[in-house]
Amino acid sequence: MATAFSPTERMRLARKTSSIDQLSKQFRQQVAALTGEQEKAFSTYQAGVTEKMAPFESALAQYQKTDYPAYEAATEAYKGRLKAYEAQLAEIRANPTVKAIGYTEERVPKYGPVGGFLSKVGLGKIVGYDVRQVPYEYDEPRPLPTFSEAAPAAPAAPTRPTIAAFSDEPFQARRAELEQGLQRELGERRSARLAAVSRRSRSMLAGA
């Protein structure tokens, strides 16, 4: 048999139902406000990340568009000069000498004037010497070229700043607290309602 409630009790139960609806509404409002706080905090975090990353991104663009391409071009030019040097060195090692002309001095006697036959055959008296340069050929070592140029140094790449990830743990903890509070309030009201129904049932049974 269904339990009959008086008009007063029905009004009390209706107020309790309304109270539960009010709790649910309040909970939804609190969750919405908390979500708004979280979104605002995340927007602030993103703005901070953008501000911190701006110098790095500018330096990275400079590195990628200018610094590193210039280094690559300088490196290629350096490799070309080094290759030419190595080719020249290999050619000299294969042909280490070249023909050269040197000169040595030679003393040629001068004869004094004499008459007759002796003068004609150069057997007159030596009165001095002439010095003349006599050429001769020899092998001269080819000088080895030198290459002291250092390879271009690579530009330093910009370092990405360390930025902590956004943490939503504080908001999750507060959301959990709201949910626990709602469940606790609902449990208390359900318990109170069941107790009221139980008391009413006992009263009716006692008066039967």
Residue position matching structure tokens 């939804």? 28
Is the pTM higher than 0.75? no
User: In the Cβ-directed half-sphere of 179, how many Cα atoms lie within 13 Å?
Assistant: 6
Maximum Cα–Cα distance across the chain? 190
Q: Which two tokens stand for residue 78?
A: 């350096």
For residue range 17-55, list pLDDT tens digits in order: 557 788 888 888 988 999 999 999 999 999 999 999 999
Mean pLDDT of the chain: 83
Residue with the two structure tokens 């908390």: 34
Q: Please state, in angstroms and rounded to a whole number, the distance separating the CA atoms of residues 169 and 7.
A: 48
Counting residues of the chain whose pLDDT is more than 70, the rounded percentage is 77
Greater confidence, 199 or 106?
106
Residue pair 156/9 in contact by the 8 Å Cβ criterion: no
Cα 151 to Cα 58, 73, 81, 103, 145, distances in angstroms: 27, 12, 11, 44, 18
| pLDDT value for 190 | 74
Instruction: Tell me the mean pLDDT in the region 108-131.
Output: 67
Confirm if 137 and 124 have CB atoms less than 8 A apart: no
Q: What six digits make up the tokens of 5?
A: 């409630």
Structure tokens at 44: 């602030």
- Is the Cα dihedral 86, 91, 94, 96 positive or negative? negative
Task: Please report the pLDDT score of residue 206 as a whole number.
Answer: 58
**Domain spans of the chain, in order of start:** 7-96+142-152+159-207, 97-141
Q: Residue 3 pLDDT > 70, yes or no?
A: no
Six-digit token string for 80: 């070309």
